[in-house]
Amino acid sequence: MPPKNPSDPPVDAADLLDLGDPAVVADPYPHLAALRAVAPLAWHSGMGTWLATGHAEAGAVLRDRRLGRLFSARTPADDWDTFNWLHADSILDSEPPKHTRLRRLVAGAFGRGHVQRLAPRIEELAAGLLADLPDGEFDVLAGYAEPLPVLVIAELLGVPEADRHHLRPWSQAIVRMYEVDRTPEVEAQARQAAAEFAAYVEQLAADRAAAPGEDLLSDLVQARDGSDRLSSHELVATAVLLLNAGHEASVNGFGNGLHSWLTAPERPAVDVADPAARARLVEELLRHDSPLHLFERTAKEPATVAGVDLQPGDKVAALLGAANRDPAVFTDPDRFDPTRDPNPHLAFGAGIHFCIGAPLARLELEVSLRTLMARYPALEVVEAQRRPTFVLRGFERLVVAPVSRPA
């Protein structure tokens, strides 16, 4: 619907930001900055959504409890049945009180030391992948950044090695539905992937119920809070969400961040062996070229957000990449600065939907960077090919090569 504040300047974000424009997808930041300078919360007539490009405005969208993640089931229902309940019964697309219950149960299972116990295993998996890489140039995504998160999440959930090759194709088919330029072919692939993925996890969960292991899926099967527990659909939806979000964001966060670092003018040196320096580097990798750019909310009741009056059903989206380059919060925001501290980026969201896997994502990035740079102390980008997507921003290929240091 049109803006509710006729006295405000009639800014239409569609005039400044076309998310289907290849130039915007390739480098959205100048376009996002231009929109932020005019209106940090603006109506986009093409999308039928308010867009928050300012850090304060995006934060308000993410934290306001009057705005929710209200999943709209796709139709026809018979065709989209599995896809619909995978979302409706997940933490990401639920609101209190259901969200509160699901997050409490899942956080309880997560809190049993699963992330901490994975640290040495992540290092072992990373070293194994590095051993197969050449001494010359290589695609750091295909050979390292893509397989590592899949292996880590598979380890976390206890997915057998023989089945792990299915996970990334299923996930990629489902998450393509979050883009703004879906095709009938994309939709058909998402429906098929959702059905196959759900059926697989259902069987794996049944196996864990009969013979529990020491993995997270076993803990999710047994997760209880008094008499409450995860339903079969909630269990499967949680596992699928962890697999999807747990490696899509990690792959793109690693690839985008590494590219930002390696291509920065006068590339700043970082001692990745120093935990404090490495932690700051990881936060800047996530801020500078965020893996997730758009996170939508829907007004559940009348609300005024950043001076805009919203009515129930109105859509508003936080543009996380734009918020993370807001000059009101980040000095010289387009510069990659691995010493930046504090670094209050919104790459993991905020509010009740803050990413539950953030500790694992940070650990994975820290270990994978330290392990990579231990073998290749200096790298340069040889080829970088972007994915043609805006919401989930990443690379198709990122070819790098070792740089010989002068004697």
Q: Rounded to 5 degrees, what are φ and ψ at 338? A: -70, -5
What is the reported pTM?
0.90
> Residue 335 has what pLDDT?
97
At 30 the three-state DSSP class reads helix
> Residue 14 has what pLDDT?
93
- H-helix or E-strand spanning residue 383: strand 379-386
Question: Mean of the per-residue pLDDT values for the chain?
Answer: 91
Catalytic residue among 88, 355, 358, 384: 355
Each residue of 107-118: pLDDT tens digit?
A: 877 766 777 788
Give yes or no: 250 in active site: yes
Catalytic residue among 250, 260, 290, 368: 250
Each residue of 237-255: pLDDT tens digit?
A: 998 988 887 778 889 999 9
Q: Is the previous residue joined to 275 through a cis bond, with omega within 30 degrees of 0? A: no
Q: Is the pLDDT of residue 9 over 50?
A: no
> Residue 10 has what pLDDT?
63
Say which residue, 303 or 119, is predicted with more confidence: 303
Give yes or no: 245 in active site: yes
Give yes or no: 72 in active site: no
Say which residue, 350 or 8, is predicted with more confidence: 350
> Residue 286 has what pLDDT?
97
Catalytic residue among 155, 179, 234, 364: 364
Catalytic residue among 146, 248, 284, 296: 248
Which ranges of 263-387 would DSSP assign to H, the alpha helix? Answer: 275-288, 320-323, 358-375
Each residue of 195-223: pLDDT tens digit?
A: 999 999 999 999 999 999 988 899 889 87
Each residue of 284-328: pLDDT tens digit?
A: 999 999 999 999 999 999 999 999 999 999 999 999 999 999 999
At 74 the three-state DSSP class reads coil
Q: What whole-number distance in Å separates Cα of residue 183 and Cα of residue 177?
A: 9
Each residue of 323-342: pLDDT tens digit?
A: 999 999 999 999 999 999 99
Q: Is the pLDDT of residue 366 over 80?
A: yes
Q: Is the pLDDT of residue 68 over 60?
A: yes
Catalytic residue among 245, 249, 303, 361: 245
Each residue of 148-168: pLDDT tens digit?
A: 998 998 988 899 999 999 998
Residue type, 379: L
Q: What whole-number distance in Å separates Cα of residue 263 and Cα of residue 379?
A: 10
> Residue 407 has what pLDDT?
40
> Residue 372 has what pLDDT?
95
Say which residue, 6 or 305, is predicted with more confidence: 305
Percent of the chain with pLDDT over 90: 73
Say which residue, 87 or 224, is predicted with more confidence: 87
Count how many Cα atoms sit within 13 Å of the Cα of residue 245 in the half-sphere of its side chain.
23
